[in-house]
Structure 1
């Protein structure tokens, strides 16, 4: 009985995953409003009834897909932060990862969020009780953690207004992504990973400079100057030996 139940659950999970992937593919190619549940079912190889057995509505399916994007953002960010040690490295990585993950599937997340907001007129009135807010908060808490640790290590100023910096960080990138989307519609050229990362740095560098501890910045400049002087002295010594 247990084995039979396990196989049934696995098949059910596989069908659910196929429906999600079919919806993502169709939403990306032809948009949310132009993709019917009948098309999603056909692409997934299931009946339309099976779609509704797994998801209450197309709107509910949309919400699950958006939640999946936030989970991917959080997971990739957590994995990457492990190998970054300084606050600056972690800050830069969060910006790069955010832009690069959002750019996948032709910026589908941004397009679906726009649809979700238009579908749910009272979203902003009850934002804190929405599932989207909960997933977003879990993800953005990684930024809070990086900044708090940076303050504790004195790499950042002590009087930082964390909520304002968080809004600036994610808000500037979301606005930047919209600008990129407008550019893509005009030029029809995709940006590569290197260009996306460079754009993330351009957007977020002023935010970093506003938070960085001046003493820490000065210390790093001095370290570079000292290193350069030492290297020049070694070169001079080698030249004197040859003369």
Structure 2
């Protein structure tokens, strides 16, 4: 078999294993998942799965890493379509809400795994790379004078992602289609909380000083 065909077949098998593994892990949890079932759904023998992933833990790590890498790459592509930090923030919010609604079951599984097991540090780095997309936009907004300087970025980040994830769960629980106002309302609230306060107009300042001067003369 030519090397190219062999490589393509190997990649096809790897994708099939990961797709099947995601389904089985979501349905049965990490402890309840069986590699034999993963192989069956992928259309290959259990032993073949172990050729690609030596342990069930290694398979889960690969699944998590791939998920966060794809999410980060797509988020950056989405944000890159805009130059203004506020527009980038809006685009990221829309992307994140859509992604959470779509992948809620897998995200819940990933959260449980982080709490119950020692997740590989490299996998955690992939998660950090995703949330860092927000940090970069926020820093650019501060530099552009759109957001107030001196505010802890992690608090702003928690407000941003936390609001979207809570909304996604509410939407999923209610079985609703996604309301169009969720992202707009978040951005408005974010601007009210973290937006840079506009400088006082010089004419207004002069009027205030004149009024104060008149009050002082009457006193």
Partner of residue 117, structure 1: 114
1:100-115 correspondence to structure 2 within 5 Å: 100-105=98-103, 107-115=104-112
Residue pairs, 1:135-150, within 5 angstroms: 135-150=126-141
- Report 1:141-180 matches (<5 A): 141-180=132-171
The secondary structure found in structure 2 opposite 1:163 is: helix
Pick aligned residue for 1:49 from 28, 47, 50: 47
Change (3 A) 1:131 1:178: farther
Paired residues of 1:157 and 1:212 also in contact (CA < 8 A): yes
Q: Return the TM-score normalized by structure 1.
A: 0.71
Helix, strand or coil at the partner of 1:159: coil
TM-score between the two structures when normalised by the length of structure 2: 0.77
Matched, 1:20 2:18: yes
CA distance in 2, matches of 1:208, 1:132: 32
1:214 aligns with 2:197: yes
1:142-183 Cα offsets, whole Å, 9 max, x none, are 1111111111211111222222212332233334444444x2
Shift of 1:118: 4.3
Q: Which residue of 1 aligns with 2:83?
A: 85
Q: Distance in 1 between matches of 2:16 and 2:127?
A: 25
- CA 1:21–1:190 in 2, change beyond 3 Å: closer, same or farther? farther
Displacement over 6 Å in runs of 4+: none
Q: Which runs of 5+ in 1 are unaligned?
A: 124-128, 220-243
Structure 2 contact 100–165 (Cα < 8 Å) conserved: no
Deviates more, 1:151-160 or 1:4-13: 4-13
Query: Is 1:154–1:213's contact at 8 Å kept on the other side of the alignment?
Result: yes
Unpaired runs of at least 5, structure 2: 202-219
Corresponding residue pairs, total: 200
- State yes or no: 1:191 paired with 2:177: yes
1:157 is paired with a residue of what secondary structure?
coil
Give the Cα separation in 1 of the matches to 2:165 and 2:4: 42
Match of 1:99 in 2: 97
Q: CA deviation at 1:135?
A: 0.5
Residues 57 and 115 of structure 1: CA distance in aligned 2, closer, same or farther (over 3 Å) = farther
